[in-house]
Amino acid sequence: MGDPLERLELEDAGGSSLKDDEVCMEIDPPFRESTATTEDWRKALAKVVPAVVVLRTTACRAFDTEAAGASYATGFVVDKRRGIILTNRHVVKSGPVVAEAMFVNREEVPVYPIYRDPVHDFGFFCYDPGVIQFLKYEEIPLAPEAASVGLEIRVVGNDSGEKVSILAGTLARLDRDAPHYKKDGYNDFNTFYMQAASGTKGGSSGSPVIDWLGRAVALNAGSKSSSASAFFLPLERVVRALKFLQNGRDSFVKKWEAVSILRGTLQVTFVHKGFDETRRLGLQSETEQRVRHASPQGETGMLVVESVVPGGPAHECLEPGDVLVCMNGEVITQFLKMETLLDDSVNQKIEIRIERGGTPLTVNLLVQDLHSITPNYFLEVSGAVIHPLSYQQARNFRFQCGLVYVAEPGYMLFRAGVPRHAIIKKLAGQEISLLEDLISVLCKLSRGARVPLEYVSYADRHRRKSVLVTVDRHEWYAPPQIYTRDDSTGLWTVKPAFQPDAGLLSSGINDLGGIRSDAVPLCTEASSVGHMHHDSRAELNEGVTSMETSYEHSSEGGHPRAESDVETKKHRVKEDFSSDGNAVADGSFLETDEGDLEDANTVENSVMRDLQGENVAAANSSLAERIIEPTLVMLEVHVPPSCMLDGVHSQHFFGTGVIIYHSQNMGLIAVDKNTVAISASDVMLSFAAFPIEIPGEVVFLHPVHNYALISYDPLALGAVGISLVRAAKLLPEPAIRRGDSVHLVGLSRSLQATSRKSIVTNPCAAVNISCADCPRYRATNMEVIELDTDFGSTFSGVLTDEHGRVRAIWGSFSTQVHTFLLGTKKKKRSKKKFSSSEDHQFVRGIPIYTISQVLEQIICGAQGPPLLINCVKRPMPLVRILEVELYPTLLSKARSFGLSDDWVQALVKKDPIRRQVLRVKGCLAGSKAENLLEQGDMVLAINKEPVTCFRDVENACQELGKHENRDGKLNMTIFRQGREIDLLVETDIRDGSGTTRVINWCGCIVQDPYPAVRALGFLPEEGHGVYVARWCHGSPAHRYGLYALQWIVEVNGKQTPDLDAFLNVTKEVEHGEFVRVRTIHLNGKPKVLTLKQDLHYWPTWEVRFDPDSAIWRRNTIKALDYSSNL
């Protein structure tokens, strides 16, 4: 375990527990007094500082021990002619990285990784020296032999984000144990470290540790945050690696010749223990004497085996506690000598003598090539990064190298519950031991297929966990791809994981456990896409071990409704389909006459007969519960990270819905929009009436009200399921009144129906939800139902009468609560307020009338655009709305604003219960009412009819839709600043599709401004612009600060008023080209930034919903041509 106070100079790296042997009494080499003067240091620093660079690195994908992200670090030139920069391994990264170096005069140059050591914390970037034209600098020589205890040193680097920082210190130890940073991250081992009290912080990784002659004697790597201690890597192995690189070429060339630097390993971790400890481990005194005699004067201990990786060359040959005596007949007590021998013996056998509990043993082991167990390729599928388990993580987790390791779960695996660091053992019944095994199974699966997956995690290594993986049905991500490291260019080349005509591309029916799954052909494009899982980065805890790379962080961040009127229908619908797929209505699906009472008993008897043969009548449940239970459905909703649209605040939602239509051809479920927030979602349905789970599709999102409609294929239920599942009877009229008795019925997570009888305390409570930090759907212009008792804020369901007829949905509303905490500054003893925001939810009743009206239009034929539902195209409803946010004001207060007695009496006469008037809170930006209505206006009448509630406004809007000869305008009488004014206000028409198009450019998710953003009342004057909804970790947007909550209004001076204009402009930008982007934040603040396009790792693509196939399709807009890699 590592010291929790040690830092690897990376702000997001965590630590472990304190070492037992942290306090060391070992004898150090003799103290050397420094005779350097201030002038000597001035001259040394004048020579060194120009050769030190600030490295801006972006890890484009999570890989091995690293998460995707952007960071600052330090490096320094060690070979000017060849353009070689030395820095830390955790800066060079083990995975794909894009980096730039900035010299002290602010000249910038791209750098490319050419080597990172598999174990030790050093690596090299290369750059073109010819690009630097205005700075005179010299390379910094490496002098590992100059390091000694007492040596006065300076650490020159980018400390705490500063461009140049110079910290002084004195080397105190040369034999410190390698710091342990994280239990599941990168750690150095099998080497000593130096220690000094220089107090380096984040950003100084890779800084040179120099002496007064301007020579680098060590490489800064980590620090202890609880003290001023810093840890430096010795340079002996760095010098060896640099010589290999220098021998590979004489000067800089664009494409390096890949250099092979031999590194050997036994997959064994050694620690240096004092002789007293080795004696306690059983070392014989004779052996100790021979070792002391053969070792340099002042040797204090020997190397002891700490751990052995399973499956490695030393597995079952060496054990923890073994004391190393000799290798190939040579006494070995130092790491450097041992590593030199191993590096010179790759793929050869060596003889090792050890003592185990006092017993001498000799073993012959084959030295393994360390690079062969360091992964240099990975599979990217559905945003997941999967590759062979590296030596680093195999050592951390005590697993065998090469197993199939999940570096980032992405969407498909995250949806199944597979965590980061998992080891995949089986997929679709096939054992998985290599990445190639996983690819061979994936290529046989079709879109929408559901297959079991087994995995193990290091936290629970002895038990396999089994989950169900659903292959993406929609094209949320690019097809599976293989990335392979190319050390000659510093890039990772990409190619399809399998041929376009194999796997994930087939179509047909998969019969999995009796569930019908429609497989959809997959697009054959071969472009890559990043992911943005917000939990992929570990956060820095104060006083823990971390790396000294300064990471860039940015914080970023929906649900509204209203009501509409519906007439009571007194005929039964009988659905029949003509050849063109249109529904023919004959009769009604809503009955409110006395015959319903008899029908309720009939339904009750049917339920009692069908549900598993139980005697339901003997149960303790109410009549309403028994009738409504077969109509309830539990919805599990996942939102792909690539399509986190409209400010949606989570990737995973649960909620209870109710079946409102069920036939042989189509099923429809109503649920609140805090469960199904956007249409770009994957929905799974679990039915209370029948134990089955099938997919659903979002077919309608009401633009105002808090509900969505989800369709399902009844044939997927099977013959038995179809007969057991029922649609609820909807009772929109009469409206619920205060004092009414209702039954609240819903489902628990175990799909058990739960109910209670409650009393309505307020049937017309106006919802008032404030805007969230990241604008998202919030309920406005809506009256809800409040009860005296319920089941808490997370329980959703329906409100029924005593006969099981649904009168309202008991739905969930999302809100954001701002809390303020008081903090005290230690120095000034002053109190300061700190604010934070938390997502909360509450439940209220949503009257059923608006749902029943939309349902009628879907079944009987609407006027809107067609949508494919279960292979039948159906016209979907259009909703006419007034895009104005209203709120009620009591007439008593309205009188104080000057409202006349005549209007007060007229409004009281219209609605003696509410006694209120509606006022304008604001108009949606870009709406047709924006320039007509003003904040504070009182809405008195529409078309000369008094208005007292939101439903009155909706009824007036719907009445316009019934008369085609009208111009869509409302004749509104308003009261403004003491005057009555008549206005003709045009309404807007919206469909229920929601946002159906998203573009990913340079790793930022761009969409048209959605209603929650427009509800803020502001759009940029520059043609409105396109809105940045999210950004991806490790992308150019992350690196250059193109974050969410702002509009892009110009690119390279050209306006981007909409998505098409934005694409036309960005198509002109080539790979590696800098662009100038003008943005305007939600707060109205303009900003101009430059951004470098990277089409290699971040091609431009869009995902768009296709109503003809009911599939979200992915289309690559601009990417590099990878055909040469096939």
pLDDT tens-digit map of 128-173: 999 999 999 999 999 999 999 999 999 998 865 667 888 899 999 9
pLDDT tier for residue 864 given thresholds of 50, 70 and 90? confident
pLDDT at 967: 79
Residue that wins the pLDDT comparison between 620 and 830:
620
Q: Report the DSSP pairing between strands 548-551 and 9-10.
A: parallel
Residue 955 predicted with pLDDT over 70 = yes
797 phi, psi to nearest 5 deg: 175, -135
- In angstroms, the Cα distances linking 420 to 395, 398, 458, 471, 639 are 17, 16, 10, 18, 18
What is the average per-residue pLDDT within 552-561? Answer: 37
pLDDT in tens, 1025-1069: 999 999 999 999 999 999 999 999 999 999 999 999 999 999 999
pLDDT tier for residue 35 given thresholds of 50, 70 and 90? confident
pLDDT in tens, 510-544: 333 333 333 333 333 333 333 333 333 333 333 33
Lowest-confidence segment of 223-237, 817-831, 960-974, 1102-1116 by average pLDDT? 817-831
Residues 705, 813: contact at Cβ < 8 Å?
Answer: no
- Helix, strand, or coil here: 595? helix
pLDDT at 525: 34
Residue type for position 338? M
Residue 251 predicted with pLDDT over 80 = no
Residues 261, 578: contact at Cβ < 8 Å?
Answer: no
% of the chain with per-residue pLDDT over 70: 82
1086 phi, psi to nearest 5 deg: -80, 160
Lowest-confidence segment of 573-587, 602-616, 665-679, 924-938 by average pLDDT? 573-587
pLDDT tier for residue 585 given thresholds of 50, 70 and 90? very low
Residue 626 predicted with pLDDT over 70 = yes
Running DSSP on this structure, what letter comes out for residue 547? B
Residue 594 predicted with pLDDT over 80 = no
- In angstroms, the Cα distances linking 39 to 42, 136, 154 are 5, 21, 14
pLDDT tier for residue 1022 given thresholds of 50, 70 and 90? low
Running DSSP on this structure, what letter comes out for residue 130? G
Residue 341 predicted with pLDDT over 60 = yes
Lowest-confidence segment of 377-386, 813-822, 935-944, 1101-1110 by average pLDDT? 813-822
pLDDT at 557: 34
Tokens read off for 973: 């009488």
pLDDT at 514: 35
The three state secondary structure string of 289-346 is HHHHHHCCCCCCEEEEEEEECCCCCCCCCCCCCCEEEEECCEECCCHHHHHHHHHCCC
Among 916, 898, 920, smallest CA distance to 907 is for: 916
Residue type for position 269? T
750 Cβ neighbours under 8 A, 6+ residues apart? none
Q: How many C-beta neighbours within 10 Å does residue 13 have?
A: 30
187 phi, psi to nearest 5 deg: -140, 140
What is the average per-residue pLDDT within 351-366? Answer: 96
Residues 649, 776: contact at Cβ < 8 Å?
Answer: yes
Measured between alpha carbons, how far is 385 from 926 in angstroms, rounded to an integer? 41
pLDDT at 2: 47
pLDDT at 198: 72
Residue that wins the pLDDT comparison between 253 and 685:
685
pLDDT at 498: 86
pLDDT at 135: 94
pLDDT in tens, 53-83: 999 999 999 999 999 999 999 999 999 999 9
Tokens read off for 332: 């070995």
% of the chain with per-residue pLDDT over 90: 74
Residue 277 predicted with pLDDT over 70 = yes
pLDDT at 792: 87
Residues 558, 772: contact at Cβ < 8 Å?
Answer: yes
First to last CA, the chain: 45
pLDDT in tens, 740-785: 999 999 998 889 899 999 999 999 999 999 999 999 999 999 999 9
What is the average per-residue pLDDT within 969-987? Answer: 94
Beta bridge partners of 823: 832
Measured between alpha carbons, how far is 307 from 707 in angstroms, rounded to an integer? 57
pLDDT in tens, 834-859: 556 788 899 999 999 999 999 999 99
Residues 477, 382: contact at Cβ < 8 Å?
Answer: yes
pLDDT in tens, 168-217: 999 999 999 999 888 999 999 999 999 998 766 667 889 999 999 999 99
pLDDT at 224: 72
What is the average per-residue pLDDT within 914-919? Answer: 95
Measured between alpha carbons, how far is 660 from 700 in angstroms, rounded to an integer? 13
What is the average per-residue pLDDT within 561-590? Answer: 33
Measured between alpha carbons, how far is 104 from 855 in angstroms, rounded to an integer? 67
pLDDT at 204: 84
How high does pLDDT run on average in the chain?
85
What is the average per-residue pLDDT within 294-319? Answer: 94
Residue 890 predicted with pLDDT over 70 = yes
Residues serving a catalytic function are 534, 796
pLDDT at 227: 64
Among 677, 681, 666, 654, smallest CA distance to 746 is for: 654
pLDDT tier for residue 254 given thresholds of 50, 70 and 90? low
Residue 34 predicted with pLDDT over 70 = no
Measured between alpha carbons, how far is 669 from 1124 in angstroms, rounded to an integer? 49
Residues 216, 154: contact at Cβ < 8 Å?
Answer: no
